[in-house]
Structure 1
Amino acid sequence: MALNANDRSIANFTMAGHALVHWFETSIPIFLVVWLDEFSVGVALFGIVVALGYAPFGLGALPGGILADRYGARPLVLVCLGGMSLAFLVLAIATSIYAIAVGLVLWGVAASVYHPAGLSLISTGVEDRGTVFAWHGIAGNAGIALGPFVTATLLIFLEWSVVAAILAVPGVIAVLYGLGAEFDPTAAVADDADAGPDEALSPADLLGNSRTLFASAFAVVFVLVAFEGLYYRGTLTYLPEILHGLPAIEALALPAGLEGIQPADYVYVGLLVVGMAGQYAGGKLTNRVSPARGLAAIFAVLVVLALAFVPVTTAEAGLGTIVALCGLLGFFLFAIQPFYQNAVAIYTPPDARGLSYGYTYLAEFGFGSASIAVGGFVLGELSQTVFFAVIAGFAVGGGLLAGALLVGDGRFATADGTLEANADD
């Protein structure tokens, strides 16, 4: 069934926003490789700087959701798009590591409001939510792949500062489009008297609902997602730099005229493209496999994949082995996401779903960003072997928690009740 005009308009607006959030997000690790050469600082310090940018991306998700409830989702998405573009213009004129830090923090703060605001807009304005959520996810995956691809390609021909400015242009265009887009943000809940943007949670309600959530199985899911975020962010941030140093990739003989191409960057992009297939497969499997079982299985695979990078990066592994390992990593790194998203829906009550997802993104992108600082220190002061051992340890932690959910299946509260009902248990 075709989308109605309002659904189409909201879909176009949110798809642009979702794609651009990840367009900017995944371009940063490509820039990191260039910045390490440009500025005379070690990888440990730069790890802290990049973590300062990624941390607000997650830490701001919860207040972003509260602001969306208070002021409406559309203004928040527009602020997000404009703020991210401004942040990359700041990066474009940066001449020191401190200016880079300012630009990254600005990006993280602006980007943090998108997920709660964009998902809220779809949930209140779209009639055919399933279809729009599907296209919304595809748009995000496209941004994840295109960000590093376009960045790596432009860096062949242009200075990194010029590339950063060019990457800001689609964000400006999206703001202009959003200002002119016409849609009803509450069309799907038009008969609900409490659907307006003024109905924000009071501090007392927020505290009470949060206390109830964390007294339930959601506490396990929250920490599990934090471990997944630590694995995800640490791996995707430093893998481009690690791939650049592998002999099999450095030894590639490129045709005349293509000497400026960095093959490592395109291996990384390929990993993200394969991740699109992983996320699709994971989404399909959530209809057949319980979240706890799926999470436990994929965390086990992620442990093996992280440890498999140790011999690949310490010995002279062939190009085919490196590409295959990166492809498997990309597939399972994104296949796990539908499972933890489904786990949130199962282990939380319906009237706390928005708050639950706010905390979920806080764990994924906020606490998960700590692995950037940890990874920078380990790579700068220790070795790649220790780095991948630490990454594997994050997956072990997540797997143990998934096992706890699996063993306790049937004894944890599901989403059948309300906050009040759970509080009385």
Structure 2
Amino acid sequence: MNRNDRSIVGLVALAHAMVHTYELSIPILIPLWLEAFPVGSGTIGLVVGAGYALFGLGALPGGILSDTVGSRRLIAGCLFGMAASFLLLSAAPSIAIVALALVCWGIAASVYHPSGLSLISTGVEERGNAFAYHGIAGNVGTALGPLAVAVLLLFADWRVVTALLAVPAVIAGVVALRVRFDERAAVTATDGGDSKASVGISSVGEFLSESKLLFVGPFVAVFVLVMLSGLYYRGILTFLPDLLSEMPAFAPVEFAGREMEPYRYAYSGLLMVGVLGQYAGGKLTERFRTERAIAAVFTALAALALVFLPAANAGLAPLLVVGALLGFTLFVIQPLYQATVALYTPSGTRGLSYGYTYLGVFGVGSAGSALAGSILEYSTVTVLFGVLAALAFAGAVVAAVLTSRQPTP
């Protein structure tokens, strides 16, 4: 990578780690909120789903802004906004204020993915490797965020912990304002088959026309894929810490005079394995057609959803093996669909394209949190994993259909 590539990758890696530190710290707090506030799983699912929904819904205007005002300001604003949101969360006296804080976090965090991924696609020449490193950084945050929360909860109340989490985002925001790079160093006249190499969305009419162009082509299938991926992702991760906490294998233990909750560390370990999945997914984008790889990954996710509960009933060792495979496979798919978006969209509206992508992943996908909470409150965990398997199987079918299409040269 050249100097410009390294500067961009360094910034987006830091910001991506921060975003997912907060995102995946939220589920590990859910059991504590169920104890602190008089609400059930269904209500918590709606509250968390609201924050996650804004995380996705805000991606579309974030994508438009990234095409017009650039990525640096959006990334810095995202980091400072997330810090402020977690400070509000730390002071929440009721579940309503928890919901408000999570909504504020979702709005702030929503602009990151379209701006960060657009920055990679237009500013980095070694795009595939950049997506891989970007994904690895996100998974480091995904895993270390919950792990940091688990460790800090040994010594402090969840309110103190959430306040402390605001500090690193402020530091990262300052870094985002100071680093220098060329945001469009890797754009060529033929990138994505589009001549609009340097102009973003400048009017409502242009937004509508560019959106129409996206959704009359094969991008609509890509959108369905990312939507199904988001539903599976939220559906399985949001309440996974709560599910693990109820399993005998993860009963609380005494250590050094303190009660430890093993499920928190198992959850963090599952997410840490995702680092390897992100790296593998990035490398697969360089060697195989991403649509075929996505079909294979969705098939594996369907199978893992079906065997998760039998593995849990078989004992700790089988559960850990299946959990590790789930963590790996769940994150392999992310660099694959990120690269697929770049194949099927023009460079001049790449931010808009990634805005729609994360509208699907985190906006529509946020319904997975509410869906999982409702199923757990009114049905059974077996039904939940059956629904997740069905979503993954549908994704495999859509990806197989997309494989018959050729991206625009």
**TM-score normalised by the chain length of structure 2:** 0.91
Query: In the alignment, what sits opposite 1:355?
Result: 352
Query: Which amino acid counterpart does residue 172 of structure 1 have in structure 2?
Result: V
| Most deviating of 287-296 and 39-48 | 287-296
> In the alignment, which residue of structure 2 is the partner of 1:249?
250
**Do 1:298 and 1:332's aligned partners in 2 also have CA atoms closer than 8 Å?**
yes
Root mean square deviation of aligned Cα:
2.5
The equivalent position to 1:69 in structure 2, one of 67, 70, 74, is 67
1:351-390 map, 5 Å: 351-390=348-387
Matches of 2:289 and 2:9, distance apart in 1: 29
Deviation of 1:245 (Å)? 0.4
Report the alpha carbon displacement of residue 216 of structure 1 after superposing the two structures with TM: 1.5
Q: How far apart in 2 are the matches of 1:289 and 1:187?
A: 26
Question: What amino acid is aligned across from residue 228 of structure 1 in structure 2?
Answer: S
Q: CA deviation at 1:342?
A: 3.1
- 2:342 paired residue among 326, 329, 345: 345
Query: Given residue 223 of structure 2, which amino acid in structure 1 is its aligned partner?
Result: F
- Structure number with the bigger relative contact order (C-alpha 8 A, sep ≥ 6) is 2
Distance, in Å, in 2 between the alignment partners of 1:216 and 1:184 is: 31
Residue 263 of structure 1 is matched in structure 2 by 262
Q: Which amino acid aligns with 2:105?
A: W
1:326 aligns with 2:323: yes
Question: Partner of 2:13 in structure 1?
Answer: 15
- What is the Cα deviation at residue 282 of structure 1? 2.2
The answer to whether the 8 Å contact 1:303/1:395 transfers is yes
- The code of the aligned residue for 2:42 comes to A
* Maintained 8 Å contact 1:303/1:392: yes
Q: Give me the whole-angstrom Cα distance separating, in 1, the residues matched to 2:106 and 2:222.
A: 24
Indicate yes or no: 2:408 matched with 1:415. yes
How far is 1:385 from its partner?
Answer: 0.9
Q: 2:48 aligns with which of 47, 50, 56?
A: 50
Note closer, same or farther for the CA distance 1:235–1:24 as it changes in structure 2 (3 Å cut): same
Conservation of the 8 A alpha-carbon contact between 2:13 and 2:138? yes
1:72 Cα offset (Å): 2.4
Distance change >3 Å, CA 138–CA 391, structure 1 → 2: same
Moved more, 115-124 or 290-299: 115-124
Superposition map of 1:214-363 within 5 A: 214-250=215-251, 254=254, 256-257=255-256, 259-313=258-312, 315=313, 317-363=314-360
Stretch of structure 1 that moved more, 75-84 or 7-16: 7-16
Shift, 1:54, TM fit: 0.3
Deviation at 1:301, TM superposition (A): 1.4
SS of aligned partner of 2:259: coil
Return the letter of the residue paired with 1:371: G
Percent identity of paired positions between Structure 1 and Structure 2? 51
Q: Which amino acid aligns with 2:271?
A: L
- Which letter does structure 2 place at the counterpart of 1:376? G
- Which residue identity is paired with 2:229? E
How far the C-alpha of 1:414 sits from its partner, in A, is 1.6
Change (3 A) 1:413 1:284: closer
SS in 1 for 2:118: helix
**Contact 2:308 2:323 (C-alpha < 8 Å) held by counterparts:** no
Moved more, 241-250 or 157-166: 241-250
Give the drift of 1:356.
2.3
Shift of 1:176: 2.6
Letter in structure 1 aligned against 2:244: L
Offset at 1:168? 0.5
Q: Paired residue for 2:99, among 98, 101, 109?
A: 101
Deviation at 1:117, TM superposition (A): 1.8
Secondary structure of 1:287's partner? helix
Change beyond 3 A, Cα 1:348–1:130: closer
Unmatched 5+ residue regions in structure 2? Answer: 190-194
Deviation by residue 1:13-63 (Cα, 9 ceiling, x = unmatched)? 332211101111110001112111111100100100000000011111110
- Are the structure 2 counterparts of residues 74 and 347 from structure 1 closer, same or farther at C-alpha, using a change threshold of 3 Å? closer
Residue deviations 1:360-380 (CA, integer Å, cap 9, x gap): 111111100001111111101
Distance across 1 between alignment mates of 2:62 and 2:45? 25
Secondary structure of the equivalent of 1:170? helix
State the secondary structure of the residue aligned to 1:260.
strand
Distance in 1 separating the partners of 2:124 and 2:346? 22
Aligned-residue offset at 1:96: 0.3
Name which one, 1 or 2, has greater alpha-carbon Rg. 1
Partner SS state of residue 286, structure 1: helix
Using a 3 Å threshold, how does the CA distance of structure 1 residues 184 and 295 change in structure 2: closer, same or farther?
A: closer
Greater mean deviation of Cα atoms: 280-289 or 151-160 = 280-289
Match of 1:420 in 2: none
AA partner of residue 264 (structure 2): D
Distance 1:94 1:346 in 2: 44
- Change in Cα spacing, 1:132 to 1:344, as seen in structure 2 (3 Å) is closer
Contact 2:67 2:352 in 1 (8 A): no
2:192 aligned residue: none
- 1:200 is paired with a residue whose SS is coil
- Unaligned runs of 5+ residues in structure 1 are 417-425
Moved more, 332-341 or 350-359: 350-359
- 1:127–1:402 Cα change, 3 Å: closer
Give per-residue Cα distances to partners, 1:78-97, cap 9 Å, x unaligned. 11111100000000000100
Q: Do the aligned residues in 1 keep the contact of 2:197 with 2:347 (CA within 8 Å)?
A: no
Change (3 A) 1:284 1:121: closer
Q: Which deviates the most, 394-403 or 334-343?
A: 334-343
**SS at 1:303's partner residue?**
helix
Equivalent residue number for residue 30 of structure 1: 28
C-alpha spacing 1:44/1:86, structure 2 compared with 1 (3 Å): same
Give the Cα separation in 2 of the matches to 1:282 and 1:179.
Answer: 30
Aligned-pair CA distance for 1:125: 4.8
C-alpha distance in 1 between matches for 2:100 and 2:36: 17
* Cα deviation, residue 131, structure 1: 5.3
